[in-house]
Copies of this chain bind each other. A is one copy, B any other.
């Protein structure tokens, strides 16, 4: 028996009637109770040519993660942003808040990150820590044989599930959606995002509740022949079109930030494994895009068609993890350019930091 919680519904499910998909999808379930998950995104922001900065940062993070309080698992990824900077990111996962806090308190990595020295370097750093109650987490994997992100934490399995294949399934999979509409306290409108004075400074951003963090992944390392060709010819361009639409129409899609991450091996080589990492003001505008816009419908229908075509032989895996933020630690941007993450919202949600 795996752990899960459910609330008695006061808000109807989105599932239309008794709809059930023909085949299951898969979701993360832990055997022992998990009340909070932590995903710590920590990055160095650098010139694309400066691979030494990436190497030094990853080495430092690896050493820190080897601590007895270190994460269950972590990913090393790379992202080139719109400003032309490369961001080398570690994404570390814990399913025990106390252990995470002990790591943060005890490991020298965190003192290094907090040091004012970081504000005066040639590179920037940022940290987006997500501390999320279990009832605000949902995951989906298209296939049961591949794990990524939080699915690699200790004591979990990918279990078959049927809350999928219709618009609103993402919301229905979030336990809290049974009792909370998860609206943004900002209504439909993100605040002004014109802050651009992050250079040489440490800025913290208090993210409002119900902001959606989504990491949506693609894994095609096992694909060959026809399925591999189809990935490059069809799925990848459709994903790129969808990403571009979300960014270009932030006002209606609620898109606050969207990054394209490439997974790396231990030597820093790019793998056939990517993920899109986004923040949205709330679920509702993301759902409206997903249910109605061609750029998502193309992705959705393509995924269904290929699953139908190949069945259990499907070798391209898609997955995502969604964390709907409740109260979470401040995000932190140190000596970063204006387009980094949520930094541009500093006037509404942020403040500068000085040593105590």
Give chain A's interface residues, CB within 8 Å of chain B: 3, 5, 7-8, 10, 32-33, 35-36, 97-102, 104-105, 114, 131, 133, 135, 176, 178-186, 195, 197, 203-204, 206, 208-210, 326-330, 346-347, 350-356
Contact = CB atoms under 8 A, between A and B. Distances in A.
Nearest to A32: B10
Nearest to A210: B98
Contacts of A185: 98-102, 104-105
A197 B326 CA distance: 32
A33 B98 contact: no
Highest count of chain B CB atoms <10 Å: which of A32, A181, A356: A356
Nearest to A332: B351
A179 B326 contact: no
Contacts of A36: 326-327
Contacts of A99: 185
Contacts of A326: 36, 97, 131, 133, 327
A114 B351 CA distance: 10
A288 B252 CA distance: 55
B327 A131 contact: yes
A354 B356 contact: no
Contacts of A195: 356
A209 B356 contact: no
Nearest to A132: B327
A99 to B, nearest CB: 8
A96 to B, nearest CB: 8
Contacts of A351: 114, 204, 353-356
Nearest to A208: B101
Contact of A101 (B133, B135, B209, B347): B209
Nearest to A343: B356
Contacts of A101: 185, 208-210
Contacts of A114: 351
Contact of A353 (B10, B135, B197, B354): B354
Highest count of chain B CB atoms <10 Å: which of A98, A105, A209: A98
A199 B99 CA distance: 34
13 contacts: A7-B33, A8-B33, A10-B33, A35-B135, A36-B326, A98-B210, A99-B185, A104-B185, A327-B328, A350-B356, A351-B354, A352-B356, A354-B354
Contacts of A186: 102, 105
A180 B134 CA distance: 13
Nearest to A180: B35
A35 B101 CA distance: 23
Contact of A180 (B3, B98, B210, B354): B98
The 7 nearest A-B residue pairs measured at CB: A101-B185, A352-B354, A33-B179, A102-B185, A131-B327, A346-B356, A350-B356
A204 B131 CA distance: 19
B327 A97 contact: yes
Contacts of A209: 97-98, 101
A77 to B, nearest CB: 24
Given A33-B178, A350-B356, A351-B355, 7 more contacts: A35-B180, A98-B182, A102-B185, A195-B356, A197-B356, A206-B329, A327-B328
Contacts of A5: 5, 7
Nearest to A33: B179
A35 B179 contact: yes
